[in-house]
Amino acid sequence: MTTTRQFGSDLPHLPTDEEYGKRDIPRGPAPLPLRALAGFLDAVVVAIPLVLGWYIVDALSDSNGGGQADRVVFGGATVAIAVGLAVWNKGFREGNTGQSSGKGWVGLVTRDATSLGAIGPKRSLWRLVQRSGTEVVRDRTADDEGFVAREKDGSVAAIRRRRLIGLGVLVVLLGLVLLASIAVGARPLSFTEIFSALFDADGSQADIIVRTLRGPRTILGLVVGMALGVAGALIQGHTRNPLADAGLLGLNAGAAFLVVLSMYLFGFSAPSEYLWFAFAGSFLASVVVFGLSSIGNGAASPLSLALAGAAVAFFLQAMTNAIIIVDQASLDSYRFWVVGSVAGRGFDVLWQVLPFLVIGLLLALASTPGLNVLSLGEDVARSLGTNIGASRALGIVAITLLTGAATAACGPIAFIGLVVPHVARAITGPDYRWLVPYAGLLGGVMLVTADVIGRVVVRPGELQVGIVLAVFGAPFFIALVRRRKLASL
């Protein structure tokens, strides 16, 4: 064991040639008990989803109303999550930084025994069976002897490769989630029944469930989730506000006001009846917000958009409250709509909103180059010859179509437009040409997954997708804020 001198202490009575404020720096491998404790903590990280998954699968037994497909879906998802956590923790995290979760908590570092640097993800994973050439030391030892974590490859080729791999993984994940949405529900189905319903329907009860209930519900959840994810990315980009969503621009409040008005005046209660009122409310709110924010200098700035949106949202919310206070029937219908759900929506609702969603997605993709320039600042964008008003108007139209159609079909669903863009930005970076497609796929995965979870947690009933997203979305967003610290847009 050696010592190093620490500066900053003030001991004037000591001789000037004598060391003071000494800090012990241990040498050599870390003690076995510390390494064992770190290994135990890493095992706990992987065991937590496995234990929760086991309880879920056990609760889905035949006696509790579960089925074969339910158990396979949730059991497979649990194993996939556990494997993913293990690869991330023991592979990428420990390989690049020298510390897995357990080693970070107890202050240990894994390094190359010769170069004393990080060993990389491949060697870190291979180290589970072959540990030659590596060693585990205390973090003080590693710092004192010059340990350097691996820097992320920032080359253009590496960034493009990561984005393409992530896109491929998302597509595969989306396919699995869609299959799970078809398989899981109140009525247990076997894989044989599901396959027969999809490819060889003969009019059985299972065929009716898959083709008329779960199929439309799954497709609607997918397109609505994609629309909300893309709209959230555009809203945060145009307002330069990392906490912005459809609520900030008053779009949800506009839809809610006209829906309640239709319930009060015409007694509408079914989604197909008040769908167009919700869409019209979002459209009118966006026109008012964009018009108010453009008064004065002739161009809507991020700050004026946010302020106008907040003012319109507060006003419309007050009008909505005034109606539901005086009319009990409107309150009863409104409280089910405002939670947000994809249940009970068939192909009739899907076909009505699908054209607007498709046009909105195309406009959103077309607006991404202009949004990239706007993200540099309005002065820079103007100096580069960008028509700021036209770019902003194109984005607002896309946001209105996407949010208005999604809200009209399923009600105001929160957290997707707020959380998904941050997750997508962590993968793709600030380039909106990649960020928008990622946000769309992540939004679809998130909404369909929440809908599947809602069908299981309160069997034989269902929990609306808006409630599931709020329960899981709020803690996830808090963790995201603490980790990413909401990087400025």
DSSP sequence for 186-246: SS---HHHHHHHHHS--S-HHHHIIIIIIHHHHHHHHHHHHHHHHHHHHHHHHHT-TT--T
Q: How far is 31 from 66, CA to CA, in rounded Å? A: 48
- Residue 43 banded pLDDT, cuts 50, 70, 90: very high
- Asked if the bond preceding 412 is cis, omega within 30° of 0, the reply is no
- pLDDT score of 105 more than 60: yes
Cβ count within 10 A of residue 396: 23
Average pLDDT, the chain: 81
Q: According to the model, what pLDDT value does residue 4 have?
A: 46
- pLDDT score of 2 more than 70: no
Strands (E), 11-82: 22-25
- Residue 482 banded pLDDT, cuts 50, 70, 90: low
Q: According to the model, what pLDDT value does residue 5 have?
A: 47
Q: How far is 137 from 139, CA to CA, in rounded Å? A: 6
Region 178-207 average pLDDT: 80
Q: According to the model, what pLDDT value does residue 443 have?
A: 92
Q: How far is 406 from 279, CA to CA, in rounded Å? A: 9
Q: According to the model, what pLDDT value does residue 64 have?
A: 67
- Residue 440 banded pLDDT, cuts 50, 70, 90: very high
Q: CA dihedral defined by 450, 456, 457, 461, rounded to 10 degrees? A: 110
469: amino acid identity, one letter: L
Region 112-131 average pLDDT: 85
- Residue 123 banded pLDDT, cuts 50, 70, 90: confident
For the segment 399-436, what is each residue's pLDDT rounded down to a tens digit? 888 888 888 888 888 788 888 888 888 888 888 889 99
Q: According to the model, what pLDDT value does residue 21 have?
A: 55
Region 59-65 average pLDDT: 72
Most confident stretch, 32-41, 46-55, 72-81, 268-277: 32-41
Return phi, psi of residue 134, to 5°: -125, 160
Q: According to the model, what pLDDT value does residue 19 have?
A: 53
Region 212-222 average pLDDT: 87
Q: How far is 246 from 418, CA to CA, in rounded Å? A: 9
Residue 486 φ/ψ region, left for φ over 0, alpha for ψ in the -120 to 50 degree band, beta for the rest: left
| Pure H helices in 375-484 | 378-383, 388-410, 416-428, 432-456, 465-484
Cβ count within 10 A of residue 359: 15
Q: What angle do CA 403, 405, 409 make, to 5 degrees?
A: 115
CA-to-CA dists, residue 459 to 4, 446, 463, 466, angstroms: 63, 21, 9, 17
Candidates 1.10.3470.10, 3.40.50.150, 3.90.1530.10, 1.20.120.80; correct CATH number of 157-482? 1.10.3470.10
**Least reliable range by pLDDT among 15-29, 122-136, 175-189:** 15-29
Q: According to the model, what pLDDT value does residue 447 have?
A: 92
Residue 488 CA to its chain's centroid (Å): 18
Closest C-alpha to 291, from 386, 396, 378: 396
Domain with CATH 1.10.3470.10 in the chain: 157-482
Q: According to the model, what pLDDT value does residue 3 have?
A: 46
Q: How far is 381 from 280, CA to CA, in rounded Å? A: 32
